[in-house]
């Protein structure tokens, strides 16, 4: 493998991403696949952007007596003896006896790789060892260290910086990752890395210098890109490693803000490119749509009408539509999709509607067929489970244009499905589809770009929606149709479980209702204080032997899950015990009670999605939060916030504030385009600050914008254009 030496680098012309990982010292044929496939590192740029998850201070050496037991420190030890201890045929330990400069003794044990450590540690030699120092057990004097690391003398920038600890993977030692990254950083130091942030007009970036502290504002231009990156990998001694991890250190804020800016610019560019692509231009004011609206037995909400007008305007613009409709479960997104399908079909084109699972696709197919067939529109269904003959027949109809609306699973993307003139793709539950599928659906139409309408019942917090969806036009349905009853939410300690079971038994037997019971675990786990689905099933069958109970969880095959859901939908089951796999699921109007065990272990947005499984019929519905008695007051307060509102957007904002996790963003930000450093749930203040500035920069300094996109998003453009 040919390695690039520092003398071969042209600092003026070499870019971060132009040096493949294979050319970096320390990469071998053995570890190359692990860096590429397991860590996702393919070049120098991705290598130096692979940031530490933690740090260790190895710059100070202690005597054994100075160490507080349980601390991980560096001690200098003289080896005075060693021997191997065979525990079993394949389990040999190395026991090392040592003393420090004061004569205090230490027992060192290596539980694995005994032969390797036996060769490295010689009697009567002094070594710097790094590990957790503890008191010896069973009344023995001295200390013990299990499996300490042997430090090299020149490691860690000659003792001037903290030692980075990187996210690891099977088969790659921390030492290997560190050495390869250090070699990459040496290359980085040789390169001329331009400063790409604009000299004027860049807004001060808000950040918290410590948890709970008032906001500070950082002048980004005072910190260079290269210096920030180098210091994050090797912070000087005295730097608070926790500040870097908590994103309250100026160096990490500097890099995060540039990445978010570049991502914003990239999305704006993708949106502009899309606007220039040829697509079907479909006139507004569809007479068929007006007839469908007039025939409805109810009035559409203002929010539904606004969303449809947005779609209508997009279709008539001559530019490719890429619109996302967001709204809570039950807000009427499907009706907007139906009107959009009818609009396109009346203009002489075909449309497709795709759902993430077979059972959801069938449910969607029934709804669309019942709504559109009376108006002379032929609707077809596509699934990977269709037989060879059925596939051939349905494809013949699609190819000939006899089927005007095709509903199905991701099988719609398959090569065997051929359209005559597909103009619109409606994607339900957008976060379940990667952008690769969006690329595949566009490949179905060679002559022009397909209009794409996506729907999601997973609201993103408004504070980060502009950053997440800068490449999309966004329509929000923020009101429920009249007559839709809000779900009443109550909280109950798990000590009252049997009281709750008795109530459920009554409503099942005497009111003929159906019940969901959701658990966070499939099986009992000693590491988690939570009730499992298997335990719940056994308890319910004991307490309610006459009740028909089903079980569904993530380890079941898709077909098994769909069979259980169908049985529940057809009221062949009275109660469904499930894990969170039912978060997005089938419409069962008779299911009016949702019980969620250990809700403290879920995000508020996820609980909200589960609550959306009930309240779909005309009967009063309720959602019970069966929480663990031992939860903290702050956790209880979080659940109280959820109890008090049914607004998914409010809940998403609260979830982000309280948990500070990426769960909300994770479901919304699907597909292959991901941030390297940023986490919008944690960095939403930075994202809000940069959103407005990004558009100005894109149009006023296009050359600078292009350089920023190239630094951070060069390899992702195909996905952004999906």
Q: What's the pLDDT band for 462 if we cut at 50, 70, 90?
A: low
Do 329 and 469 sit in the same domain of this protein?
Answer: yes
CATH number at residue 322: 3.40.50.300
Q: Which two tokens stand for residue 640?
A: 């109280």
Question: Do 386 and 496 lie in a common domain?
Answer: no
> DSSP labels for 599-658?
GGGS-HHHHHHHHTTS--SSS--EEEEEE-TT--HHHHHHHHHHHH---HHHHHHHHHHH
Q: Which of 138-142, 194-198, 380-384, 519-523 has the highest mean pLDDT?
A: 380-384
Instruction: Tally helices (H) and strands (E) across the chain.
Output: 25, 24
Domain boundary among 645, 670, 694: 645
**Measured between alpha carbons, how far is 567 from 562 in angstroms, rounded to an integer?**
9
pLDDT at 467 > cutoff 80: no
On whether both 354 and 416 belong to a single domain, the answer is: yes
First-residue to last-residue Cα distance in the chain: 36
**Predicted confidence (pLDDT) per residue in 3-43, tens digit:** 554 444 444 445 688 889 999 999 999 999 999 999 989 99
Residue 244 contacts residue 252 (beta carbons within 8 Å): yes
Q: What is the pLDDT of residues 656-678, one digit of tens each?
A: 766 544 444 444 444 444 678 88
191: alpha, beta or left? (left if phi > 0; alpha if psi -120 to 50):
beta
Q: Which pair of structure tokens corresponds to residue 21?
A: 């990982």
Based on the domain organization, do 293 and 415 belong to the same domain? Answer: yes
The pLDDT score that the predictor gives to residue 539 is 92
Residue 704: both structure tokens together: 């600078």
pLDDT for the residue 136: 84
Q: Which residues contact 33 (CB under 8 A, 6 or more apart)?
A: none
Non-local CB neighbours of 681 within 8 Å, separated by 6+ positions: 464, 656, 659, 660, 661, 662, 663, 664, 665
Residue 330 falls inside a structural domain: yes
Looking only at the bridges linking them, the beta strands covering 105-110 and 126-135 are unpaired
In whole angstroms, what is the distance from residue 428 CA to residue 357 CA? 10
pLDDT score of 79: 95
Residue 158: which pLDDT band, with cuts at 50, 70 and 90?
Answer: very low
Question: What's the mean pLDDT in 524-533?
Answer: 71
Q: Which of 162-176, 261-275, 295-309 has the highest mean pLDDT?
A: 295-309
**In a domain? residue 683:** no
Structure confidence at residue 484 (pLDDT)? 75
Pair (454, 528) in one structural domain: no
| Assigned domain for 293 exists | yes
In a domain, 342, yes or no: yes
Burial of 106 (0-12, 13-18, 19+ CB in 10 A): buried
Q: 619, 645, 671 — which closes off a domain?
A: 645
CA distance 715 to 694: 20
Statement to judge: residues 498 and 631 lie in one domain: yes
CA distance 663 to 604: 10
From CA 163, how far away is CA 348, in angstroms rounded? 65
- The single residue listed with the structure tokens 């890099």 is 255
- Write phi, then psi, for 426 (nearest 5 degrees): -105, 125
**Would you say residue 8 lies in a domain?**
yes
Q: What tokens were used for 173?
A: 């030692």
pLDDT, position 153: 58
- Contact in structure between 490 and 625 (CB atoms under 8 Å): yes
Task: Please indicate, yes or no, whether residues 41 and 71 belong to a single structural domain of this protein.
Answer: no
Name which residue leads in pLDDT, 404 or 431: 404
The closest alpha carbon to 587, from 361, 383, 405, belongs to: 361
H or E element, residue 360: helix 358-372
User: Is 9 in the same domain as 143?
Assistant: no
Kindly state whether residue 224 falls inside one of the protein's structural domains.
no
Residue 50 domain boundaries: 1-54+175-190
CATH code for position 103: 2.40.50.140
292 and 390 inside one domain = yes
Do 84 and 154 lie in a common domain? yes
Is-contact 625 631, C-beta < 8 A?
no
Q: Are residues 183 and 138 in the same domain?
A: no
Specify the number of domains making up the chain. 4
Q: From 413, 446, 477, give the residue that closes a domain.
A: 477
Q: How far apart are CA 593 and CA 611, in angstroms?
A: 9
Is 87 a residue whose pLDDT tops 70?
Answer: yes
For residue 242, is it within any domain?
no
Residue 719 lies in a domain: no
Average pLDDT, the chain: 85
The sign of the CA dihedral 35, 38, 40, 42 is positive
My answer on whether 468 and 560 are in the same domain is: no
List pLDDT tens digits, range 105-146.
999 999 988 999 999 999 999 999 999 999 987 657 789 999
């Amino acid at each position: 493998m040919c390695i690039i030496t520092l003398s071969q680098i042209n600092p003026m012309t070499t870019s971060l991403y132009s040096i493949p990982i294979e050319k970096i010292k320390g990469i071998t044929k053995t570890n190359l696949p692990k860096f590429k496939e397991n860590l996702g590192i393919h070049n120098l740029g991705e290598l130096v952007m692979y940031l530490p998850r933690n740090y260790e201070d190895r710059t100070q050496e202690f005597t054994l007596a100075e160490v507080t037991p349980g601390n991980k420190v560096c001690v200098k030890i003289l080896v005075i003896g060693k021997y191997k201890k065979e525990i079993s045929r394949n389990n040999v330990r190395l026991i090392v006896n040592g003393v420090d400069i004061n004569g205090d003794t230490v027992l060192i044990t290596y539980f694995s790789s005994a032969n390797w450590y036996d060769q490295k540690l010689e009697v009567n030699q002094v070594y710097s060892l790094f590990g957790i120092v503890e008191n010896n057990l069973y009344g023995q004097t001295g200390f013990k260290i299990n499996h300490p690391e042997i430090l090299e003398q020149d490691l860690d920038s000659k003792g001037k910086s903290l030692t980075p600890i990187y996210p690891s993977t099977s088969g790659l030692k921390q030492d290997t990752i560190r050495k390869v990254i250090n070699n990459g950083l040496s290359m980085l130091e040789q390169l001329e890395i331009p400063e790409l942030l604009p000299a004027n007009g860049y807004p001060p970036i808000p950040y918290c210098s410590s948890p709970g502290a008032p906001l500070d504002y950082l002048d980004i231009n005072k910190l260079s890109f290269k210096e920030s990156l180098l210091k994050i990998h090797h912070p000087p001694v005295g730097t608070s490693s926790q500040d870097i991890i908590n994103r309250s250190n100026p160096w990490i804020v500097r890099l995060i803000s540039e990445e978010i800016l570049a991502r914003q610019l990239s999305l704006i560019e993708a949106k502009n490119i899309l606007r220039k692509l040829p697509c079907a231009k479909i006139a507004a004011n569809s007479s068929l749509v007006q007839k469908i609206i007039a025939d409805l037995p109810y009035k559409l909400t203002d929010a539904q009408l606004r969303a449809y007008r947005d779609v209508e305007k997009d279709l008539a613009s001559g530019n490719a539509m890429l619109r996302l409709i967001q709204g809570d479960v039950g807000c009427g997104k499907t009706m907007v999709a139906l009107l959009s399908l009818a609009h396109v079909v009346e203009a002489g084109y075909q449309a497709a509607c795709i759902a993430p699972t077979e059972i959801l696709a069938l449910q969607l197919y029934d709804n669309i067929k019942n709504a559109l067939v009376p108006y002379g529109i032929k609707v077809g269904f596509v699934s990977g489970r269709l037989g060879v003959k059925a596939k051939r027949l349905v494809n013949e109809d699609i190819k000939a244009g006899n089927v005007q609306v095709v509903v199905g699973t991701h099988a719609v993307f398959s090569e065997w499905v051929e359209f005559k003139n597909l103009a619109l793709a409606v994607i339900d539950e957008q976060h379940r589809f990667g952008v690769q599928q969006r690329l595949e659906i566009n490949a179905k139409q060679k002559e022009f770009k397909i209009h794409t309408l996506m729907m999601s019942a997973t609201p993103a917090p408004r504070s980060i929606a502009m950053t997440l969806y800068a490449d999309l036009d966004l329509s929000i349905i923020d009101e429920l149709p009249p007559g839709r009853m809000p779900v009443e939410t109550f909280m109950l300690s798990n000590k009252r479980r049997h009281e709750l079971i008795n109530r459920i038994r009554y409503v099942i037997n005497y009111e003929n209702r159906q019940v969901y019971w959701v658990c966070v675990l499939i099986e009992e786990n000693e590491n988690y204080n939570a009730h499992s689905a298997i335990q719940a099933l056994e308890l319910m069958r004991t307490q309610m032997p006459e009740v028909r109970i089903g079980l569904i969880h993530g380890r079941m095959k898709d077909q098994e899950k769909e069979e259980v859901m169908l049985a529940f939908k057809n009221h062949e089951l009275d109660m469904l015990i499930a894990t969170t796999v039912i978060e997005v699921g089938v419409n069962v109007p008779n299911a009016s009670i949702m019980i969620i065990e250990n809700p403290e272990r879920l995000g508020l947005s996820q609980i909200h999605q589960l609550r959306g499984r009930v309240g779909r019929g005309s009967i009063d519905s309720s959602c019970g939060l069966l929480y663990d008695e031992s939860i903290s007051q702050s956790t209880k307060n979080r659940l109280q916030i959820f109890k008090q509102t049914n607004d998914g957007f409010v809940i998403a904002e609260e979830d982000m504030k309280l948990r500070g996790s990426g769960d909300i963003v994770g479901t919304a930000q699907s597909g292959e385009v991901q941030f390297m450093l940023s986490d919008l749930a944690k960095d939403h203040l930075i994202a809000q600050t940069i959103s407005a500035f990004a558009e100005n920069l894109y149009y006023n300094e296009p050359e600078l914008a292009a350089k920023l996109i190239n630094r951070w998003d060069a390899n992702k453009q195909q996905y952004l254009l999906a």
